[in-house]
Amino acid sequence: MTQVLVVNSGSSSIKYRLLDLPSGHAVAKGAVERIGESEGLLTHRGPAGEVERREPVADHAAGMRAMLAAFAEAGPDLAAVHLAAVGHRVVHGGERFTAPTLVTDEVCEVIASLSDLAPLHNPANLKGIQVAREVFPDVPHVAVFDTAFHATLPPHAHTYAVPREWRAEYGVRRYGFHGTSHAYVSRMSARLLDCGPADVNVIVLHLGNGASVSAVRGGVCVETSMGLTPLEGLVMGTRSGDVDPGVIFHLRRAAGLTVDDLDDALNRRSGLLGLSGVNDMRELIKLIDNGDEDARLALDVYCHRVRKYVGAYMAVLGHTDAVVFTAGVGENNARVREHALTGLGDLGVRLDHDRNERGGPVISAPGSPVTVLVVPTDEELEIATQALALVS
């Protein structure tokens, strides 16, 4: 049995999963949350049962020790498991990391140096890597980057039309995110279409709390909606997605807002939350069903943005075999899927109402020139698969 531990270390949490490959079976999974707060929360499910514990977790090193204790309690015993690799999610790989990478001291330094581009994520990802390397010194550690799948964007897609020195000196370009999800879902979609990845063109709509869309031609990503940061593109739970950068200058001048105020507002107080007061799609739908007009507008803006990107990416691809929904909203919300694709019949995208309500995987009408799919994403499995492929 080959097992890979996947670690997703955030600023206040460590989420983990132990996967058996190639079956993809999750042998154990859990999370240490609220690290650094007065009361931390550990949840773990293993072959010998479940653990839930509330106690202070001072830092990531303490979080990793809590994870090891949970493994000892509810299994499996990590000392007895032969770990083939530890796979780490890292948000920003910049221009340097375009593929899964074996972690060394030098790799850690470069990940740290990319923190300017992802100040909320890369330092937290790196902390997880550092404590895991101490705990598992004899196991290869592999960094898998959210940006890597988008490294194939052609220059005309990743270049912003801005002054040369911004691009040359400050790394200003489009990178794209959610890459492990787009990679996994586009490959699974090809399989559902009975084709190899090289033989199909797909548009993947990753609609979760964060949301992004990518155009994948023959297995190669050629366009994606997130840019230098995960702020660009679709409307998200709390992020605005596309806005005219002029909005920022206007608010600097007219309202005296600081750069930090604007950063916070566009990343954490906009999107569905800014429009309706809630960021969770389930709550938004409840508000709409109770007649809330702001919530209705929020859904209309959200779905209009999705439809606009689908049309644009069909133009980018020239020929589109499938439009694919994934992540929390994409996998579970038939209403959003139907609303977003309404009116695209003449472009060959014809949804089947009943199939859509049943949830797929195929939700387009028989004979629809473009197949519409629902494909559950699995970023942990993709990280484990990529990590294992690198070390074997």
**Site residues, ligand ADP (CB under 6 A):** 208-210, 237, 280-282, 327-329, 332-333
Whether 253 has a binding-site annotation, put simply, is no
- Judged by beta carbon, residue 100 or residue 210, the one nearer ligand ADP is 210
What's the rounded Cα separation, in Å, for the pair 221 and 154?
9
When CB distances to ligand ADP are compared, the closest residue is 328
Burial class from Cβ neighbours inside 10 Å (0-12, 13-18, 19+) for residue 359 reads: middle
Residue 206 in marked binding region = yes
CA distance 149 to 139: 25
Phi, psi of 385 (to 5 degrees): -65, -45
Is 329 assigned a ligand-binding role in the annotation?
yes
Is 390 a known ligand-binding residue? no
Amino acid at 195: C
Least distance to ligand ADP, CB of residue 128, Å: 17
Given the complex with ligand ADP, which of 115 and 209 has the nearer CB atom? 209
C-beta of 84 vs 185, nearer to ligand ADP: 185
Angular region, 76: left φ>0, alpha ψ -120 to 50, beta rest: beta
Q: Which is nearer to ligand ADP, 142 or 334 (CB)?
A: 334
The half-sphere exposure of 307 on its side-chain side, counting CA atoms within 13 A, is 19
C-alpha distance from residue 280 to each of 24, 127, 273, 290, 328 (Å): 29, 29, 8, 16, 10
Q: Is 210 annotated as a binding residue?
A: yes
Q: List the Cα angle 218/388/227 in 5-degree steps.
A: 50
CB of 332 vs ligand ADP, minimal distance in Å: 3
Please state the closest distance from residue 100 (CB atom) to ligand ADP, in A: 21
Min separation Cβ 329 and ligand ADP, Å: 4
CB atoms within 10 A of CB 155: 7
267 marked as binding residue? no
Q: Identify which of residues 152 and 238 has a Cβ nearer to ligand ADP in the complex.
A: 238
Give the shortest CB-311-to-ligand ADP separation in angstroms. Answer: 24
User: Strand 25-33 relative to strand 14-21: parallel, antiparallel, unpaired?
Assistant: antiparallel
Which one, 331 or 352, has the nearer CB to ligand ADP? 331
For 303, phi and psi rounded to 5 degrees? -75, -35
Site of tokens 């809590």: 66
15 marked ligand binding residue: yes
Cβ contact 279:270 at 8 Å: no
Are the C-beta atoms of residues 11 and 120 closer than 8 Å to each other?
A: yes
**Residue in 116, 146, 292, 352 annotated catalytic:** 146
Answer whether 111's CB lies under 8 Å from 98's CB.
no
Burial of 229: CB neighbours in 10 Å, binned 0-12, 13-18, 19+: buried
330 annotated binding-site participant: yes
Over the Cα atoms of the chain, what is R_g? Answer: 21
CA distance linking residue 223 with residue 276, whole number of Å: 30
3-class DSSP assignment, residue 13: coil
Smallest distance, Å, CB 282 to ligand ADP? 4
Q: Which residue has the tokens 């507008």?
A: 297
In the complex with ligand ADP, the residue whose CB is nearer, 232 or 321, is: 232
Does the active-site annotation cover 20?
A: no
Q: How many residues does the chain have?
A: 392
- Smallest gap, in angstroms, from Cβ of residue 118 to ligand ADP? 16
Detail the residues annotated as belonging to a binding site for substrate: 89
Show which residues are catalytic.
146
Detail the residues annotated as belonging to a binding site: 8, 15, 89, 206-210, 280-282, 328-332, 379
